[in-house]
Amino acid sequence: MSADHVHPVNFDPTDPGHDPHDHGEHDHSHRAVRIGIGGPVGSGKTALTAALCRALGQSVDLAVVTNDIYTTEDADFLRATGVLDVDRIEAVQTGACPHTAIRDDITANLDAVELLEHRFHGLELVIIESGGDNLTAVFSRGLVDRQIFVVDVAGGDKVPRKGGPGVTTADLLVINKTDLAPMVGADLGIMTADAHRMRGELPVISQSLVDTPDAPAVADWVRAQLRTLAAVS
Ligand SMILES: Nc1nc2c(ncn2[C@@H]2O[C@H](COP(=O)(O)OP(=O)(O)OP(=O)(O)O)[C@@H](O)[C@H]2O)c(=O)[nH]1
Ligand SMILES: [Mg+2]
């Protein structure tokens, strides 16, 4: 290496020129907002992702990264729904516990996000869906700017009070499948009260994607995050 070699990436976090998102592989003159969607298996993460694509796809330049353990099931499902051009959907196969790829070694997800940013200049939003996991699974803040945790009513009204970092710390908690409450004997009042008690000031949205297929309340929350994050970038 020559003496005047300068590494293009500044890794010193105390230096004003440091960009924590610059991993040296791509042009980071533009960076999309990254929102993670996590939660237990089957709670409705992919259905919410599809709903957000329908609600926001016309007005926001967006793309999606899915995570599955052994397959590309969720990406295939989203591509089949036609909610987004197929080349705006990238699949990560985690091959291990899903939380590893969103929290511990985020390399594969970062690569997928950066590939999409590289493919679509001007990309404003990337939604990253985690593989279904347990109540302890949260995203690394190095991967996402905001995270949504999705639980569902079918698991019973006890879920919010069981806590865990997803329920207590996610930027938004979604209680999904409210249409199923009568079928499983879940008390929605208890679920929302417990959720607010566990989360303090952090927001909670209860919804049914059967009753409101475009998830309007969550879409409004995402729009607000885009405005806030654009204002500070
Ligand atoms: N009744 C009802 N069903 C829903 C709702 N939201 C999603 N579902 C259904 O619940 C099932 C699971 O939804 P998905 O979106 O695949 O759940 P997921 O969290 O992505 O699942 P994994 O990625 O496998 O963890 C699907 O059959 C959805 O159609 C809802 O609000 N009400
Ligand atoms: Mg899914």
Q: Which two tokens stand for residue 73?
A: 């099931």
CATH fold group of domain 33-232: Rossmann fold (3.40.50)
**How far is the centre of ligand 1, averaged over its atoms, from the C-alpha of 135 (Å)?**
17
How far is residue 147's CA from residue 145's CA, in Å, rounded to a whole number?
Answer: 7
Contact status, residue 105 vs residue 97, Cβ threshold 8 Å: no
Q: Which two tokens stand for residue 50?
A: 């599809």
Q: Which two tokens stand for residue 92?
A: 């990560």
Q: What's the number of CA atoms in the CB half-sphere (13 Å) around residue 85?
A: 9
Ligand 1 pocket member 36 (CB < 6 A): no
Burial degree of 111 (CB within 10 A; 0-12, 13-18, 19+): middle
Ligand 1 pocket member 204 (CB < 6 A): no
3-state secondary structure of 180: helix
pLDDT score of 5 more than 60: no
The CA–CA distances, whole Å, from 123 to 55, 119, 225 equal: 16, 9, 15
Report CA dihedral (155, 159, 160, 162) to the nearest 10 degrees. -170
**How far is the centre of ligand 1, averaged over its atoms, from the C-alpha of 4 (Å)?**
55
How far is residue 230's CA from residue 224's CA, in Å, rounded to a whole number?
Answer: 10
Task: Please work out, in degrees rounded to the nearest 5, the angle formed at the alpha carbon of residue 33 by the alpha carbons of 216 and 192.
Answer: 40
Residues 6+ apart with CB under 8 A from 119: 87
Q: What is the pLDDT of residue 22?
A: 52
Nearest to 67 by CA among 90, 93, 89: 93
Domain boundaries, the chain: 33-232
What are the start-end ranges of the E strands in the chain? 33-38, 62-68, 89-93, 125-129, 146-152, 172-176, 204-206
Residue pLDDT, tens place only, 82-107: 999 999 999 999 888 888 999 999 99
Ligand 1 pocket member 94 (CB < 6 A): no
DSSP string, 24-66: SSS--SS--EEEEEE-BTTSSHHHHHHHHHHHHTTTS-EEEEE
Over range 173-187, report the average pLDDT.
97
pLDDT score of 23 more than 50: no
**How far is the centre of ligand 2, averaged over its atoms, from the C-alpha of 46 (Å)?**
4
Q: Which two tokens stand for residue 161?
A: 């009070």
Q: Which residue has the tokens 């709903």?
A: 51
Residue pLDDT, tens place only, 114-126: 999 999 999 999 9
**Residue 21: pLDDT band by 50, 70, 90 thresholds?**
low
Q: Which two tokens stand for residue 30?
A: 């533009």
**How far is the centre of ligand 1, averaged over its atoms, from the C-alpha of 103 (Å)?**
23
- In angstroms and rounded to an integer, the radius of gyration of the C-alpha atoms of the chain is 18
Ligand 1 mutation pick, 135, 152, 179, 211, max ligand atoms within 8 A of CB: 152
Q: What's the number of CA atoms in the CB half-sphere (13 Å) around residue 208?
A: 11
**Residue 134: pLDDT band by 50, 70, 90 thresholds?**
confident
